Amino acid sequence: MISGVLIADNFIKQGIVRNCMVVSGEFISTIAHNASKTISTFDTKELASLTVGDAGAAVILSRNESDAGFEVLEQNTYARYQNLCYGALSTSFPGAYMQTLMKKLHKAALDESADFIEVCLKKHQLSFDKIDILIPHQTSQKAINIGAKRLLNHFKVKKVPKVVSNLELYGNTASTTHFIALYHLLMAKKVQKGERIMLLSHASGLVMGLVVFRLNAIVDRYGN
């Protein structure tokens, strides 16, 4: 979804289109089903597969002349961590399987996040204390808590953004996770016009994405 939003934003800025729909679907629960048949200890490489959930999401982006909209859209690849997660078609069961060095992958994501965010915000002349809502990748509650604490310590902010977690409801829905969380915030009327929202994505590999934006009239169209 984050990659799609980046592409759509470029199309709109170039005048190729005025409106663009980004769609993503995740049918990855087969890796959880397959992992449940093979896991024997907490050190099993397929343990992280048990956290995933199926989901679909779509977002429509439109040319906007107001002061709302995207302020940051960045991605970066840390290919040196590519060996920490591996997925392929299973030869034993229907569907796929995934093997992850979970602790090392979480550590890599945590170690790189603060510097990545700092570089991106400086590039766009923003500071972390201007963020009202943070939606991190929904991997595990422990990772979200530790990651949020790391960011607060790194940026030494007095104003703490609201950190969103919907793991209890949906688990890790991979590429759709941020927009599912945003949708439920909008439906619950928990987003105010002009609030600055940050989406922080981590994809195994390791790829990081950062999106910062503000919403305007769309806030009124949800939760009624």
Beta bridge partners of 85: 100
* Mean pLDDT of all residues in 51-75: 89
pLDDT at 182 over 90: yes
Percent of the chain with pLDDT over 90: 67
Domains of the chain: 2-221 (3.40.47.10)
* Mean pLDDT of all residues in 174-203: 94
Beta bridge partners of 76: 208
pLDDT at 176: 94
pLDDT at 128 over 90: yes
Beta bridge partners of 23: 58
* Mean pLDDT of all residues in 201-207: 88
pLDDT at 216 over 90: no
Q: Is the pTM of this model over 0.75?
A: yes
Give the pair of three-digit tokens for residue 208: 């990081």
pLDDT at 140: 85
Residue 169, CB half-sphere, CA atoms under 13 Å: how many? 8
pLDDT at 66 over 80: no
pLDDT at 86: 87
Which DSSP string do the residues of 144-203 spell out, in sequence order?
HHHHHHHHHHHHT-SSPPEEP--HHHH-B-GGGHHHHHHHHHHHTT---TT-EEEEEEEE
pLDDT at 158 over 90: no
Beta bridge partners of 72: 212
Nearest to 131 by CA among 145, 117, 113, 112: 117
